[in-house]
């Protein structure tokens, strides 16, 4: 009985916490999405009852099909040992493609493209969310309009400045605030629905069909505004690792979806009775006495929504780095209790600059809505393609069943993409260009690493014969243990060659360590290391980490004793190779990409910091390599 009570209490706690992280993005969409359907220069819809019911019907069924069916019930099954998001999905899909290099290369390109576009979403979401909330001040009094942008900038600067403290301290505050937010959304919706209850007829999908028949091309392009109601779907999937699938499903079905629908219906009822409210139906639907509290609550909700996207950008950067798709970056853990609480300084300050520039450049949430949506649509298409492959291989779905489920989803998302295409000229170019730049960086890093490895491999010396040769030479030995880190376990590390060349000695014990990042989020400690004796006082050690873990080599080496190798990690000397790259015209990539790779390679976080090596026990030996 007590066990069941404890599990029930834990589930309630996780469900409440999920409200504050998982649903922040999608939960703030009512601030701007419904307004864009009727207050847009792209698709000037008449504010009449048939159009309002049609748009509401589209919103209802988009939330049901795209979010509920795809993300809540299908994508939450497509986890990678509990972790979600496009990178975790990519890692799982790649597990079964090692013997199919062409298919693997296509999936890697798709995954990196989806990840690159996620960063574009991470720039626009904080800007449009906070800006749309602060714009509520204009409803209170038009004299506050000049303060909207400066106040938005101040809130965003404050949000990014406190990131180094981590979200662990305020995480418990997020859930209750979002709970109040969703209840407020529902209350405002019910208040307006009571004035025109016939608006609930929009539940019937025939209103959506009639809307397209009546409006044709204009109605189709209005899908771009409808899509804004589901832009948080990818964030929902990416954050599942923090809470698990069940709390997310309970929160969505039990609170979030009903409250969102009630609010959208309330805004629709307001427009039917007061068409002039189309300039800002969200805040104009709020009773005058509750306007100031609602603006404050909306601002808090959008800050929380922004926090979730910022944290997501940190997580995806770590995952990409540990899978070898981007340079190493400095990562700080901000909580000893929660593994996912991390802070990435470089990403934080880059996002801050881009978000501030976005607010200053676009100035209003309506202008930003023109840039919002197209990047998320492309990311959704990528996840649909990847999960289609996963369903056939891992879930053993017959091809016709997979096509029956994912074919319509692909068509629906492609329709949203086409409808959003008209936004490219008005601002949609921004996330696309930003995503293209990130994609170029990721692919350049990946190709550059392959090129560098090919060059090093062509010059490598086989490890086993070299050790046998050293045994015959009777090289002088010095006390303690030398640890040589190298990605290749069967060749002699450059650092060892340089050490012998300059010092003419070996250590009493020599250990060759290679770090392997697996396509799983975490590795249990009992499977952390694999020790192999390869000669007298020579050992080869493989250390395994998941792509969600912070690699701590010294701590991992403690586990070698269980396999017969006793090491004192804090007393050993760690030898690292440090290459200086020389871009060479006509070799491999285009010269500008080689220079970009060299710049990233030179400025990446050094291996000693990334692998948490004891700072006073590291020796770096360098060489120059033409690429």
Asked if 18 contacts 256 with a C-beta cutoff of 8 angstroms, the reply is no
Backbone angles phi, psi at 546, to 5 degrees: -85, 165
CA 144 to chain centre: 35
Domains of the chain: 2-448 (1.20.1740.10), 461-626 (no CATH)
Which is it for the CA torsion 5, 8, 14, 17, positive or negative? Answer: negative
Q: How confident is the model at residue 68 (pLDDT cuts 50, 70, 90)?
A: very high
- In this predicted model, what pLDDT tens digit does every residue of 348-401 receive, in sequence order? 888 899 999 988 988 887 778 777 778 888 888 999 999 999 898 888 899 999
CA distances 90 to 75, 110, 166, 319, Å, are 13, 9, 27, 11
Does position 239 have pLDDT exceeding 60, yes or no? yes
Proportion of the chain above pLDDT 70, given as a percent? 93
Q: Is 148 left (phi over 0), alpha (psi -120 to 50) or beta?
A: alpha
Does position 503 have pLDDT exceeding 90, yes or no? no
Does position 337 have pLDDT exceeding 70, yes or no? no
Tokens 């520039």 label which residue? 357
- How many alpha carbons fall within 13 Å on the CB side of residue 334? 20
What pLDDT does 587 receive? 67
Could you give the CA distance from residue 443 to residue 445 in angstroms, rounded to a whole number? 5
What pLDDT does 43 receive? 54
What pLDDT does 166 receive? 61
Does position 267 have pLDDT exceeding 90, yes or no? yes
What pLDDT does 1 receive? 45
Does position 93 have pLDDT exceeding 60, yes or no? yes
Q: Tell me which residue of 202, 163, 191 sits closest to 57, measured CA to CA.
A: 202
CA distances 51 to 38, 182, 212, 226, 360, Å, are 9, 26, 9, 13, 33
Could you give the CA distance from residue 27 to residue 32 in angstroms, rounded to a whole number? 11
- Adjacent-strand bridge partners of 338: none
3-state secondary structure of 31: helix
Which is it for the CA torsion 211, 216, 221, 223, positive or negative? Answer: positive
- In this predicted model, what pLDDT tens digit does every residue of 168-188 receive, in sequence order? 555 556 778 888 999 999 999
- In this predicted model, what pLDDT tens digit does every residue of 551-579 receive, in sequence order? 888 888 888 888 888 888 888 888 888 77
Q: Tell me which residue of 345, 458, 384 sits closest to 71, measured CA to CA.
A: 384
Residue 141 exposed, middle or buried by CB count within 10 Å (0-12, 13-18, 19+): exposed
Q: Tell me which residue of 300, 324, 4 sits closest to 178, measured CA to CA.
A: 300
Q: Supply angle C-alpha 594, 595, 598, rounded to 5.
A: 85
- 482: Cβ–Cβ under 8 A, 6 or more apart, which residues? 499, 506, 507, 509, 510, 511, 572, 573, 575
Query: What does the CA dihedral 343, 349, 355, 359 come to, rounded to 10 degrees?
Result: 130
- In this predicted model, what pLDDT tens digit does every residue of 318-335 receive, in sequence order? 888 877 888 888 777 665
What pLDDT does 2 receive? 47
Could you give the CA distance from residue 444 to residue 438 in angstroms, rounded to a whole number? 10
Backbone angles phi, psi at 548, to 5 degrees: -100, 5
Q: How confident is the model at residue 336 (pLDDT cuts 50, 70, 90)?
A: very low
Maximum Cα–Cα distance across the chain: 94
SS3 content of the chain, % helix, strand, coil (to 5): 70, 10, 20
Proportion of the chain above pLDDT 90, given as a percent? 16
CA distances 376 to 83, 115, 178, 311, Å, are 20, 10, 23, 17
3-state secondary structure of 477: strand
Q: What is the mean pLDDT of the chain?
A: 83
> E strand or H helix at 626, and its extent?
strand 618-626
Could you give the CA distance from residue 266 to residue 465 in angstroms, rounded to a whole number? 77
Asked if 534 contacts 509 with a C-beta cutoff of 8 angstroms, the reply is no
Backbone angles phi, psi at 39, to 5 degrees: -125, 50
Q: How confident is the model at residue 338 (pLDDT cuts 50, 70, 90)?
A: very low
- In this predicted model, what pLDDT tens digit does every residue of 216-238 receive, in sequence order? 888 787 888 888 898 888 878 87
Q: Tell me which residue of 326, 424, 314, 315 sits closest to 377, measured CA to CA.
A: 424
What pLDDT does 197 receive? 93
């Amino acid at each position: 009985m007590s066990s069941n009570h404890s599990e029930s209490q834990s589930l309630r706690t996780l469900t409440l916490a999920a409200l504050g992280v998982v649903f922040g993005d999608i939960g703030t969409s009512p601030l701007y999405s419904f307004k864009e359907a009727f207050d847009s220069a792209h698709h000037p819809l008449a504010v009449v009852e048939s159009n309002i019911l049609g748009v509401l019907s589209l919103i209802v069924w988009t939330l049901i099909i795209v979010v509920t069916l795809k993300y809540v019930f299908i994508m939450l099954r497509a986890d990678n040992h509990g972790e979600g998001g496009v990178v975790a999905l990519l890692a799982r899909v790649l597990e079964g493609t090692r013997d199919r290099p062409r298919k693997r290369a296509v999936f890697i390109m798709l995954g990196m493209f989806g990840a690159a576009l996620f960063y574009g979403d991470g720039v626009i979401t904080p800007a449009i969310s906070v800006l749309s909330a602060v714009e509520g001040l204009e409803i209170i009094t038009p004299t506050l309009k000049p303060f909207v942008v400066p106040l938005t900038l101040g809130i965003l600067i404050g949000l990014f400045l406190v990131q180094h403290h981590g979200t662990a301290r305020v995480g418990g505050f997020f859930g209750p605030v979002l709970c109040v937010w969703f209840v407020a959304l529902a209350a405002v919706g019910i208040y307006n629905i009571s004035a025109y209850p016939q608006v609930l007829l929009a539940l019937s999908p025939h209103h959506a069909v009639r809307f397209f028949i009546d409006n044709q091309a204009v109605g189709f392009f209005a899908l771009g505004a409808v899509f804004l109601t589901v832009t948080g779907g990818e964030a929902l999937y990416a954050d599942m690792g923090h809470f698990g699938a069940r709390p997310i499903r309970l929160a969505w079905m039990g609170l979030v979806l009903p409250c969102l629908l009630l609010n959208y219906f309330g805004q629709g009822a307001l427009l039917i009775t007061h068409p002039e409210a189309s300039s800002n139906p969200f805040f104009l639907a709020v009773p005058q006495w509750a306007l100031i509290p609602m603006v404050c609550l909306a601002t808090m909700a959008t800050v929380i929504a922004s926090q979730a996207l910022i944290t997501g950008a940190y997580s995806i950067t770590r995952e990409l780095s540990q899978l070898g798709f981007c340079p190493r970056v400095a990562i700080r853990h901000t909580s000893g209790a929660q593994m996912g609480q991390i802070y990435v300084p470089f990403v934080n300050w880059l996002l801050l600059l881009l978000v501030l520039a976005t607010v200053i450049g676009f100035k209003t949430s309506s202008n930003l809505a023109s840039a919002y949506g197209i990047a998320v649509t492309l990311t959704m298409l990528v996840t649909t393609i990847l999960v289609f492959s996963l369903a056939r291989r891992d879930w053993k779905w017959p091809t016709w069943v997979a096509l029956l489920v994912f074919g319509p989803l692909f068509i629906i998302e492609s329709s949203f993409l086409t409808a959003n295409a008209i936004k490219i000229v008005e601002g949609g170019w921004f996330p696309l260009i930003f995503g293209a730049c990130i994609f170029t960086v990721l692919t350049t890093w990946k190709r550059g690493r392959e090129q560098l490895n090919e060059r090093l491999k062509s010059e490598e010396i086989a490890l086993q014969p070299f050790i046998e040769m050293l045994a015959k030479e009777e090289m002088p030995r010095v006390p303690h243990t030398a640890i040589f880190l190298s990605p290749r376990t069967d060749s002699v590390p450059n650092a060892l060659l340089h050490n012998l060349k300059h010092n003419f000695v070996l250590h009493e014990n020599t250990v060759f360590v290679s770090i392997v990042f697996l396509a799983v989020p975490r590795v249990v400690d009992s499977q952390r290391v694999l020790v192999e004796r390869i000669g007298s006082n020579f050992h080869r050690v493989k250390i395994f980490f998941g792509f969600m873990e912070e690699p701590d080599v010294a701590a991992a080496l403690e586990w070698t004793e269980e396999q017969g190798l006793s090491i004192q990690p804090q007393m050993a000397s760690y030898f690292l190779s440090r290459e200086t790259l020389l871009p060479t015209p006509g070799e491999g990539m285009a010269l500008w990409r080689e220079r970009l790779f060299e710049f990233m390679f030179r400025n990446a976080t050094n291996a000693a910091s990334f692998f948490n090596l004891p700072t006073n026990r590291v020796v770096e030996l360098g060489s120059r390599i033409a690429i």
